Structure 1
Amino acid sequence: MPLVKAGVVVLDCAEPERLAAFYTELLEAEETEATANRIEIRSPDGTRLAFRRDMNATPPSWPRPENSLQAHLEFVVDDLDAAERRVVSLGGRPVEAKNPPGPSESRGCTDPAGHSFTLRRSTPSAPKQG
């Protein structure tokens, strides 16, 4: 048995209840643990996310270059248009990409608290460019 196991991705935010509701709906997940300052959910495929209250949380500034994206969530989808509509209906928003408009294999979005994530048709095989 390994000494260290993969745990859970934790997003800091001012309103964990609101963010947990967003991701619970988006991922069709269920709440597995909740305290006054932290909520954890698990999706049907086993993905675990937690949302921790941070009264001083500020949204990341991605895609502005002065505060480049260091980490983000990535979700695999079959239908980019339908997934993006779902994100918007739940209070998230699409993020304008640097690439020109046209067919794409991924789309950037933010959740209601400003954390960025990517909707992707399949797992990328090439390194990030730019």
Structure 2
Amino acid sequence: MALVVAGVVVLDCAEPEKLAAFYKEFLDAEETDASANRVEIKGADGFRIAFRRDVNAIPPSWPRPENSLQAHLDFRVEDLDEAERKVIGLGGRPLESKDPSGPFEERGYADPAGHSFTVRSNRTTAPKQG
């Protein structure tokens, strides 16, 4: 029998309830556990993420180098434009970044607490040229 039965990504933030609400809507998730300082949600595919209260949390500054990446999440989506509308409508913001090369089209965002994440097209595209 495995010693570890589940893993959860935990993001520190000043207001875990608000950040959990953002991701709960974006991921069509359900809340599975909550206390005064921590909220955990579970997405339809079983992905779990939690948000822990840290009143001294400093939002990441990505793509600027100082305090840049504390954690980074990637989400695969069917429709990048629809995902972008949902992220912006929920209070996220686009991040300026270089146009990435590779087989997947992707876009970078920050959640309302400043954590960066990427949404990637579920469909592969031809490698970018030049």
Q: TM-score range by the shorter chain?
A: 0.7 to 0.9
SS in 2 for 1:119: strand
Q: Where do 5+ consecutive residues of structure 2 fail to align?
A: 125-130
CA distance in 2, matches of 1:59, 1:70: 9
Count of aligned pairs: 121
TM-score normalised to the size of structure 2?
0.85
Displacement of 1:3 in angstroms is 2.4
Q: Greater share of strand residues, 1 or 2?
A: 2
CA distance in 1, matches of 2:106, 2:123: 10
* Aligned residue in 2 for 1:12: 12
CA distance in 1, matches of 2:13, 2:95: 19
Displacement of 1:98 in angstroms is 1.8
* Aligned residue in 2 for 1:99: 99
* Aligned residue in 2 for 1:114: 114
SS in 2 for 1:31: strand
Deviations 1:25-50 (A, max 9, x none): 00000000000000000011000010
CA distance in 2, matches of 1:16, 1:119: 22
| Percent identical residues | 71
Displacement of 1:123 in angstroms is 8.9
Q: Where do 5+ consecutive residues of structure 1 fail to align?
A: 125-130
Question: Do residues 3 (structure 1) and 3 (structure 2) align?
Answer: yes
Checking the alignment, whether the CA contact within 8 Å between 1:13 and 1:55 is kept in structure 2 is yes
* Aligned residue in 1 for 2:72: 72
CA distance in 1, matches of 2:68, 2:59: 13
Superposed CA RMSD in Å reads 1.9
